[in-house]
Structure 1
Amino acid sequence: MATDLRVLCQENWDEWYDNLIRAFGGIPESAEERALWRELTETDRSIGAWDDDTCVGTAGAFGFRLTVPGGASVPAAGVTMVSVAATHRRRGVLTSMMRRQLDDVRAWGEPLAVLTASEPAIYGRFGYGVGTYHVNAEVDTARVRLSVPPGTDEVRLRYAAPAEALGACESVYARLVPRRPGMLARMPGWERVALLDPESGRDGASPLQCVLAERAAGSAAAGGETVGYALFRIKGGWEHAGPNGTAVLRDLYALDPAAHAALWRFLCDIDLTSTISTRGRPLDEGWQHMVSDIRRCSLLVRDSLHIRLVDVGAALEARTYQAPVDVVLDVEDSFCPWNSGRWRLTGDPKGASCARTEDAADLALSVRELGSAYLGGVTLDALAAAGRVRELRRGTLAEASLAFASTVAPWLPHGF
């Protein structure tokens, strides 16, 4: 039974979105959530698969800008809302949507496509590689102590209503975006996602709370400047020996080590709690080196952003390289064959060029490996150890692996 791919029309959004919700279990969202996602959906960048008059597949692409090594903000299609009705599995619906979508992304002139995967095994066949990881943690604050850096006591903390503090919080976020690969510049409307707080999503915890970190009056920094914030909930709990509540951390951003430490110390010291539960934190976040016992933090590493180079040359030119590199890459890309072939990459910390070449290849790899290595969080050496990158000219693997690496772990700050 053939399906028809169509660009999404606003009048079909409800049926299109209902198909998505059903594919993810059928649990309805709050009216507030649904209304916001309807507003944020870029219909002209979204497609549906239709069987006669019935929507059986969905796929969207937000128009994002992604920070890459060197600090540039690069256009990237944020692939989202992908689903296929259970009645239409194994009929090529997903493949046809991925084919159409990547053709569209190329036509839009965006060198990257990125996504977060509900099932990581799905997207490798379409050329996506895992490019960032994050940490989940359960910090036992009854046993863990923090060693904070100088200046922490100069940071003033105060509660603020999340909606009223939104402008100050977004200013902090915007200043952090160029500092770390993988961060997304906030597009109009996306600041409201951070404030979504439906009761159905609290799991028995409190409404969202906000604490701002500010410079105390009289410090070297400008008085009253917001230098960080935390959004969190408190989930109460009691046992025979006393309270054992949990501070459920949703977001924490800080402009400097002292503000970062002040916010984490606050979370560790909240009355009636003995645990901080947090998801999706950077691999190299500073609090991990302030705690007295990292084993009591129950760290769990998970895949996060999956990256697909839609235009190999433009993507590799868009970032910088932490060491000089001059290497010919033999790239295999069966799903987007315009990328296949040999590319000479020349780059350093100031910039890069990448162009087709007939020169002999130094390294052979698929576009999936390039996606994994692109933001510098996965080394080419590690991929070679797994047999995913082949060194064709001795010494070039070490040179390229060093150049591609990032001194700061790439991190996706929020899902989409």
Structure 2
Amino acid sequence: MNPEVRAVTASDVPDWLRARNTGFLQAPAVSEQEVANRLPHYDLERTRGVFDDGRCVATFRSFAQELTVVGGATVPSDAITNVSVSPTHRRRGLLSAMMAADLAVAKERGDVTATLIAAEYPIYGRYGFGPATWITEWEIDLPRAGLDPRWSGPSEADGGRIDLVDGADVRKLGPALHDRLRARQHGAVDRGDRWWQLRTGQDLPLPDTWTEPYYAVYRSSDGEVDGLLAYRVDGKWGDAKQPLNRVNVLDLIALTPAAERSLWHFVCSIDWVTTVRSGYRAPDDLLPLLLPDPRAARIVTQADWMWVRVLDVVRTLEARTYAVPAALTLEVHDPAGLSGGRFRLDVSPAGASCAPTTRSADLALDVRELGTLCLGDESALRLAALGRIDELTPGAAAVTDRVFRAARRAWCPDVF
């Protein structure tokens, strides 16, 4: 039989979850409780599978997302997740078929971009995705960091305070705080109620795997919640009864430098803790330079993170802001036929306009490279040097670099 690509039904979900687990090298068995807990939160019209002789052999799911672009505006995005192909059915074009179906519907629906977190680097460029945000994770050697061990809270000059809270407090305070963050952090995505439930142990698909973290909030002098921290501690001790505990930061949101400084100092000052893992942060995070000895923060992970696929060139480029005035004509190649063409882009700090044009192009690039550039995190000059964009007008790559680059790095705090 020829494998069939289609949307799943409710009765398919147990088999679909088994196939997804197989693809992600997880235990394939699926309990009735897991199915019951996951099913209400899946949009089955956007949950696809490939079925061969009645058995699911590949999985794909998408959901609605808001992506923050440079300047703080958001665009509707098609967030892709749970992509897998069983080892018995690799190299048969199954992912290509599922991806083509999903992106075509997303384009018709009016989504401006598609996004995903790539488990493997080489896969998604051929579908028009480019790495648009990166992450860095540090491990801090606290005895070397040089922080004052007598620290007992934010300074009097700061006027803020840190309080430990529980999951119910996080569900109450977290959403508004994160909305404030994503209004200023390009690359961030929205977090729905389900995100907060899962991260605080409510209605879990596999509740027996849950370990309650610690939560702390930073309140400014006027009582405003400007920061949130979630962390776990591993509880290790050495043979000589010396503490060797490590804090693993799960989430840290800070809206002000005072909140960021205080939360990092707090988590680095917990008794018995000798090491802190920062979790995935923006590559230009303040963290290392908040330490008296920044070399105490060792990079343990540095990698691409969220990939972006442009579905609507005009809306993508008009949604964001630009720091300098310029005019460029871009030739965008899209082998899938979803968003290619030649576009005139006129920008200034006051706004941007983008429209199809017949003018000669200044720069030619694949839609993959446009995805890499659109959040301001990559250099057009670097891409030109790599041969990944073609400069048709002398100096156009340098102009593109000045136009697209943002003052701070893009960052997506979430995996999805």
TM-score (norm 1): 0.91
Instruction: Name 1:283's counterpart in structure 2.
Output: 283
Deviation of 1:153 after TM superposition, in Å, equals: 4.8
Please name the residue that 1:69 is paired with. Answer: 70
Tell me the alpha carbon deviations over residues 5-31 of structure 1, each in whole angstroms, 9 at most, x when there is no partner: 212222322211221011111336898
Match of 2:350 in 1: 350
Are the counterparts in 2 of residues 153 and 262 from structure 1 also a CA contact under 8 Å?
no
2:161 to 148, 156, 164: 156
Summarize the alignment of residues 15-414 of structure 1 with structure 2, pairs less than 5 Å apart.
Answer: 15-27=15-27, 37-146=38-147, 153-196=158-201, 207-215=212-220, 219=221, 222=222, 224-241=223-240, 242-299=242-299, 300-334=301-335, 336-414=336-414
Root-mean-square deviation (CA, aligned residues, Å) is: 2.3
User: Are the structure 2 counterparts of residues 17 and 349 from structure 1 closer, same or farther at C-alpha, using a change threshold of 3 Å?
Assistant: farther
Amino acid at match of 1:107: E
> Structure 2: which amino acid aligns with 1:105?
A
Partner Cα separation in structure 2 for residue 292 and residue 403 of structure 1: 35
Q: Return the offset for 1:296.
A: 2.1
Question: Offset at 1:199?
Answer: 8.0
8 Å CA contact 1:150, 1:258 repeated in 2: no
Contact 2:134 2:411 in 1 (8 A): yes
State how far apart, in whole Å, the 2-side matches of 1:201 and 1:260 are.
30
Is the Cα–Cα contact under 8 Å of residues 228 and 253 in structure 1 kept in the other structure? yes
Deviation at 1:62, TM superposition (A): 1.1
Structure 2: which 5+ runs fail to align?
none
Select between 81-90 and 38-47 the one with higher mean Cα deviation. 38-47
SS of 1:261's equivalent in the other structure is helix
Aligned to 2:353, what secondary structure does the other structure show? strand
User: Contact (CA 8 Å) 1:146, 1:290: kept in 2 or not?
Assistant: no
The C-alpha deviation readout for 1:94-132, integer Å capped at 9, x for no partner, is 111111111111111101000001111111111111000
2:9 corresponds to 1:6 = no
1:59 touches 1:81 (CA, 8 Å); kept in 2? yes
Q: What's the offset of the Cα at 1:47? A: 1.3
Offset, 1:292: 2.3
Q: Distance in 2 between matches of 1:399 and 1:314?
A: 21
Q: How far is the alpha carbon of 1:32 from its aligned partner?
A: 7.9
**C-alpha spacing 1:389/1:146, structure 2 compared with 1 (3 Å):** farther
Paired with 1:36 and 1:375, the residues of 2 have a C-alpha distance of 35
d(CA) in 2 for partners of 1:77, 1:327: 28
Shift of the 32–415 alpha-carbon distance from structure 1 to 2, 3 Å rule, reads: farther
Find the residue that maps to 1:314 and give its secondary structure: helix
Aligned-partner Cα distance in 1 for 2:126–2:258: 44
Is 1:151–1:258's contact at 8 Å kept on the other side of the alignment? Answer: no
Cα offset, 1:34, TM superposition: 6.1
Does the 8 Å CA contact 1:70/1:349 hold for their aligned counterparts?
A: no
Q: Matched residues in 2 for 1:152 and 1:87: separation?
A: 63
The CA deviation at 1:389 is 1.3
| 3-state SS, counterpart of residue 402 of structure 1 | helix
Aligned length: 406
Task: Give CA deviations for 1:184-219 in whole Å, capped at 9, x if unaligned.
Answer: 1223422213224878767xxx6311111113xxx4
Superposition TM-score, scaled by structure 2 size: 0.91
Measure, in 2, the Cα distance between the counterparts of 1:144 and 1:55. Answer: 51
Task: Give the Cα separation in 1 of the matches to 2:377 and 2:216.
Answer: 31
User: CA deviation digits over 1:289-321, x for unaligned, max 9?
Assistant: 211233321113111001101122222222222
Determine if contact 1:159/1:211 at 8 Å carries over to the other structure: yes
How far off is 1:66 after superposition? Answer: 0.5
**Runs of 5+ consecutive residues of structure 1 not aligned to the other structure:** none
The DSSP-based 3-state class of the residue aligned with 2:190 is: coil
Q: Deviations over 1:243-262 (max 9, x none)?
A: 11001110011121111111
The verdict on how the C-alpha distance between 1:371 and 1:247 changes in structure 2, with shifts beyond 3 A counting, is same
Tell me, yes or no, if the aligned pair for 2:213 and 2:232 is still in contact at 8 Å.
Answer: yes
CA 1:123–1:331: 2 relative to 1, 3 Å = same
Displacement of 1:331 in angstroms is 1.3
**TM-superposed deviation, 1:61:** 1.0
Aligned-partner Cα distance in 2 for 1:226–1:238:
34
CA drift at 1:140: 0.7
Distance in 1 of aligned mates of 2:407 and 2:145 = 28
Contact 1:325–1:346 (CA under 8 A) maintained in structure 2:
yes
Which one-letter code corresponds to 1:232 in the other structure?
A: Y
* Change in 2 beyond 3 A, CA 1:182/1:29: farther
Moved more, 105-114 or 23-32: 23-32
CA distance in structure 1 between the aligned counterparts of 2:366 and 2:209, rounded to whole angstroms = 40
1:266-292: CA deviation from partner (whole Å, max 9, x where unpaired): 111111110001221112222222112
Aligned-pair identity (%): 34
